[in-house]
């Protein structure tokens, strides 16, 4: 494919952090320099850094010693959509403005020939929109929720599962010692992969997912059944986005300046409150809830994620060399392949993610059915 020779590439990480980001950064930088002799510029703070021209020149020493570390040395921001950026007008009021031309000009001034963008739906939607402006973009999917369409798995997911499993192992001993019902709330707004696989690995008796609205009476029945046969404790693993069949998700707060303003949280506490009221007269059990929160995002990157992050990063640079722009690296049947970013986020208007939803758990799929075979209850 004929194209202008690539000499310098840019790199940024957007959205929430997750384990494996530094491993991807390391792979991009080392491949770019060692295999292709490209120069690498890293923008600090995602699209914020691209807008404010805040960057560092990256070399082999920049990425030395970061392979195992969670998070990102380039920092993240999940509030900076440059196609709808929050700025003050002449009267001092906040308004949304398209400032993407400033970012485009910064890329031109720095002589950046291609841009690697690592992120989830929102970040990749902007990547699509920059591609439409003529930027040579390659995307890498990032989310611990494993819910990005068009790829079988995302980096950081398996490390997050390890944290969930270890937390459930720890909670198990307390639940047993006090004959309590213990709830672990994990991340997962629209997709329940973390609760499902983490709950399975951590021996949860009940798993509540966004994809399967639950009947609290069926959850109670499972706990009482266990109690009556001598297992006087139970463990629940619940997604933050789970909801009762006659209710809605639990909203923690609204962050107005964020493109994704609704913050979920408290589903575990809500379930605990309702459960204890019902269980107290029957079994006398107390119910306790723990929200694992941001622990899922951090920590030392596990073996699987170190390897797949390396594969993601190296393949992204290979795509640049091959002229595969406007595309995202994906894993399909354990092979790295390029897929159009529009296949991931849709082909809607600027800023519009229109693929129709995240990659969600199939309530009738193998994993859910396997869990049911061993007695796990989903409340359906």
Catalytic residues: 145
Q: Is residue 56 classed exposed, middle or buried when 0-12, 13-18 and 19+ CB atoms within 10 A define those classes?
A: middle
Q: Which of 27, 82, 8 is nearest to 301 (CA)?
A: 27
81-87: Cβ within 8 A, 24+ apart: 81/47, 81/122, 81/126, 81/259, 81/351, 82/47, 82/50, 82/51, 82/126, 83/126, 83/129, 83/350, 83/351, 84/259, 84/350, 84/351, 85/51, 86/257
Q: φ, ψ for residue 286 (rounded to 5)?
A: -90, 155
Q: Which of 11, 15, 261 is nearest to 119 (CA)?
A: 15
CA–CA dist 210, 188 (Å, integer)? 8
């Amino acid at each position: 494919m004929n194209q202008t020779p690539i000499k310098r590439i840019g790199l940024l990480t957007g959205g929430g952090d997750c384990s494996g980001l530094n491993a991807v950064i390391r792979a991009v930088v080392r491949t770019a320099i060692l295999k292709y002799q490209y120069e690498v510029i890293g923008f600090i703070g995602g699209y914020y850094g691209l807008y404010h021209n805040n960057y560092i020149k990256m070399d082999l020493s920049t990425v030395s010693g970061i392979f195992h570390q969670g998070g990102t040395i380039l920092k993240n921001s999940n509030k900076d959509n440059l196609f709808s950026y929050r700025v003050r007008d002449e009267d001092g009021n906040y308004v949304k403005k398209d400032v993407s031309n400033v970012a485009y000009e910064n890329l031109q001034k720095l002589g950046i020939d291609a841009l690697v963008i690592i992120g989830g739906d929102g970040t990749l939607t902007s990547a699509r929109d920059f591609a439409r402006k003529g930027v040579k973009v390659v995307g890498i999917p990032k989310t611990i929720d494993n819910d990005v369409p068009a790829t079988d798995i995302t980096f950081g997911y398996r490390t997050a599962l390890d944290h969930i499993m270890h937390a459930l192992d720890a909670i198990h001993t307390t639940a047993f010692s006090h004959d309590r019902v213990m709830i672990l709330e994990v991340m997962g707004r629209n997709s329940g992969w973390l609760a499902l696989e983490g709950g399975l690995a951590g021996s949860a008796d009940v798993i509540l997912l966004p994809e399967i609205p639950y009947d609290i009476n069926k959850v109670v029945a499972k706990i009482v059944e266990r109690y009556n046969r001598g297992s006087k404790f139970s463990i629940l693993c619940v997604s933050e986005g789970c909801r009762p069949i006659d209710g809605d998700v639990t909203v923690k707060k609204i962050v107005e300046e964020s493109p994704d303003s609704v913050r979920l949280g408290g589903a575990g506490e809500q379930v605990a409150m309702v459960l204890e009221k019902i269980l107290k007269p029957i079994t006398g059990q107390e119910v306790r809830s723990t929200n694992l929160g941001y622990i899922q995002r951090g920590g030392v990157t596990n073996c699987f994620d170190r390897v797949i992050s390396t594969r993601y990063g190296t393949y992204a640079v290979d795509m640049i060399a091959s002229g595969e722009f406007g595309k995202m690296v994906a894993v399909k049947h354990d092979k790295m392949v390029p897929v159009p970013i529009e296949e991931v986020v849709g082909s809607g208007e600027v800023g519009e993610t229109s693929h129709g939803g995240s990659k969600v758990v199939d309530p009738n799929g193998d994993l859910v059915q396997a869990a049911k075979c061993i007695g796990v209850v989903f409340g359906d």
